[in-house]
Amino acid sequence: MTRRTYRSPVLMKFTWVQILILAAALVSVLCVRNAHPQTVDEIFQNFKKTFDKSENFSANFEETTLISNRKSVARGRFIFGKPNLLRKEYLDQKDASKVVQTTVLDGTYAWTYTPLLNQVNKIKRNESDRKVLIPGISASLEDVQMNYDMVLVPDEFANPKGIHQIELTPKDHIVNTNAKKTLRIWVKSGEWLPVQFGYESELEDGTRRSAIVALTDIQRDIEIAPDLFKFVVPKDAEVIDLSEN
């Protein structure tokens, strides 16, 4: 009696080399699935490395502010230069070619000009304000890890797009009032650039204030005019000097 060996029709279609390749691919998939997710420190360090390498940073912004349930939306553009130079222009809601307010940080003073009032506010910046700033929330990037506790906030909409939300809460040694304040940075993986900033604060009297600054048309290390961060007082403008206060 002849003995027959049964062979699966499916297996007969593959050579041993093909089977080994398929097995390797399966192992690779399993490894990817079990890969250790990035920690908040790793994500922040990637963001900081990119930020440290950048000489300047510019973007269009949409700033949504909520104060005691009163909502306001402002749009504009800004250019930030290291370590603490900034030009920020708020645009008219109906006419984007019209600037309704300009703020310039020149390294020593903060200037704010409102054309409708033809008025300039001048404020001298102290030493703590002259560190490297994070545009959008005006916090110093140099001291973030020392002064803030950081956690990753899961976001079912942002995370699939490679965007990570970092929540920063001030540590006890920098909190000098009962006011509570939380900062947030949304960072996109790959480019490791910020795409959104936010903050929330609650004052001692219970007043709540929050703001979200969403960024578009983000660019870094662009060529800028040398006098971009120099403020020239417009003719006949009233200057309110608060630098001695």
Give the number of residues written for the chain.
Answer: 245
- Residue 136 lies in domain: 40-241
- pLDDT band, very low/low/confident/very high, at 15 (cuts 50, 70, 90): low
Q: Which residues pair with 240 in a beta bridge?
A: 121
Task: List, for residues 37-85, the tens digit of each pLDDT value.
Answer: 789 999 999 988 888 888 998 999 999 999 888 999 999 999 988 878 9
Is residue 21 in some structural domain? Answer: no
* CA 158 – CA 153 distance, rounded (Å): 10
160 alpha carbon, distance to own chain's centre: 18
The residues near 14 (Cβ < 8 Å, ≥ 6 apart) are 22
Is residue 50 in some structural domain? Answer: yes
Burial grade of 185 (CB within 10 A; 0-12, 13-18, 19 or more)? buried
Q: What is the pLDDT of residue 148?
A: 86
- CATH number of residue 142's parent domain: 2.50.20.10
Q: What is the pLDDT of residue 60?
A: 95
Task: List, for residues 154-199, the tens digit of each pLDDT value.
Answer: 988 899 999 999 999 888 876 666 667 888 999 999 889 889 998 8
- Give the pair of three-digit tokens for residue 33: 């699935």
Domain count, the chain: 1
Is residue 199 in some structural domain? Answer: yes
Does pLDDT of 136 surpass 70?
no
pTM: 0.74
Is residue 161 in some structural domain? Answer: yes
